[in-house]
Chains A and B, each alone.
Chain A
């Protein structure tokens, strides 16, 4: 028995120029915030962006973007939910809302493959993927299934974050997933631990995002997120990385 969905993933993503997975081995470092703010920044710069929330058990991109979960429309596949002009979102929350979704590893792989096989991204030229913490099914499956996959690795300068994230960078290297930059997120004074991490891992760029106490109040408001200090930093980062 074979899985026909694998044969169609590349075709579904054929209109997308670059696929960027916002990853971290550590939870709570701001992956989702960086994903959605980067998407909003890219859209402001004229890019059509799809956001794919692959955090099946902790989906939250829709909360940051102020999107009320609802079943997607069908058009020879399923259409991602509109967010703002030039940004769309596909998330498990479209199907299960705010209910808990207890999944085992093989079920996560099945759900990832289903979403990749049936989502029609339309005009999106860039796909930003909000990854769950860790280095499990999500990154293993994506590295095998998704052409042109790149990972933007997110860490705070905290020693625990840097230590755990270094393990992910090592695995990404083995998986041959290019890492164009490490994001030093929630920087208060000193981003050196993340810069040192990038140097050790051979990653050429660090995108520095300052700690912003006002960011919490922007959750659910795309315009406020895009206009935040983090929005400006990530827009600059996206420009430097050639996404804008």
Chain B
């Protein structure tokens, strides 16, 4: 499951942000999961827990939040959500799961049919915030 590669990236990014500080300094990591990539939260959480078990901080510091995908057509300015893109097949959803930019090959503006649109938000996995303790030795 490729959720593992993304969970690994989140943990590596947390380690990089922590630097040489005491692992206990890392208080919380909020991970934003964009709806478009359709990450399996259960697998992602399990991957995080498994990868973190070998790291110096607990899995409980990771908080997952979902962000709805919103598109905006450059041609007619219509905004729409992923559930409005009804013509996307299962195989195409799988392609978008692997590479969210694949959506540009499969999704069209539901109002005018244009391929010229932007994903406003809700792409994939990102770190929304990373909280490091402000106490002495953690700064």
Partner of B104, one of A6, A102, A120: A102
B80 interface residue (CB < 8 Å to A)? no
List B74-120 residues whose CB lies under 8 Å from chain A: 91, 94-96, 98-102, 104-106, 115-116, 118-119
Residues of A within 8 A of B128 (CB): 1
Our count of residue pairs bridging A and B at CB distance below 8 angstroms stands at 109
In whole angstroms, what is the CA distance A77 to B1 when docked?
Answer: 6
- Chain A nearest Cβ from B32, distance in angstroms: 7
CB distance from A220 to the nearest CB of B (A): 22
Query: Are A7 and B9 in contact, CB atoms less than 8 angstroms apart?
Result: yes
Residues of B contacting A242 in the complex (Cβ-Cβ under 8 angstroms): none
Tell me if A96 is interfacial: C-beta within 8 Å of chain B.
yes
- Closest-by-CB residue of B relative to A115 is B99
Interface flag for B138 (CB, 8 Å): no
- Among the listed B8, B31, B106, which residue makes an inter-chain contact with A99, where contact means beta carbons less than 8 Å apart? B106
Whether B5 and A2, one on each chain, are in contact in the complex, defined by CB atoms closer than 8 angstroms, is no
Asked if residues B104 and A103 are in contact (CB atoms below 8 Å), the reply is: yes
Contacts A3-B126, A4-B10 hold; do A95 and B5 have CB atoms under 8 A apart? no
CB distance from B117 to the nearest CB of A (A): 9
- Interface SS majority for chain B: helix
Chain B residues near A111 (CB, 8 Å)? Answer: 99, 101
What 0/1 readout, one digit per residue, does chain A (87-130) give for beta carbons within 8 Å of chain B? Answer: 00000101110011111100110110011011010000000000
The answer to whether A117 touches B130, judged by C-beta atoms less than 8 angstroms apart, is no
Known interface pairs A7-B16, A99-B106. Does A114 touch B99 (Cβ–Cβ under 8 Å)?
yes
Contact assessment for A117 and B32 in the assembled complex, using a CB-CB cutoff below 8 Å: no
Tell me whether B127 and A71 are in contact (CB under 8 A): no
Q: Are A77 and B2 in contact (CB under 8 A)?
A: yes
Smallest CB separation, A93 vs chain B (Å):
10
Q: Can you list 12 pairs linking A and B with CB atoms under 8 Å apart?
A: A2-B130, A4-B12, A7-B16, A8-B13, A11-B8, A71-B95, A76-B5, A78-B5, A78-B98, A100-B105, A110-B101, A110-B123
Interface residues of A (CB under 8 A from B): 1-8, 11-12, 56, 71-72, 74, 76-78, 92, 94-96, 99-104, 107-108, 110-111, 114-115, 117-118, 120
Query: Top 7 A-B pairs ranked by shortest CB distance?
Result: A4-B13, A77-B5, A95-B95, A76-B4, A7-B13, A8-B9, A96-B105
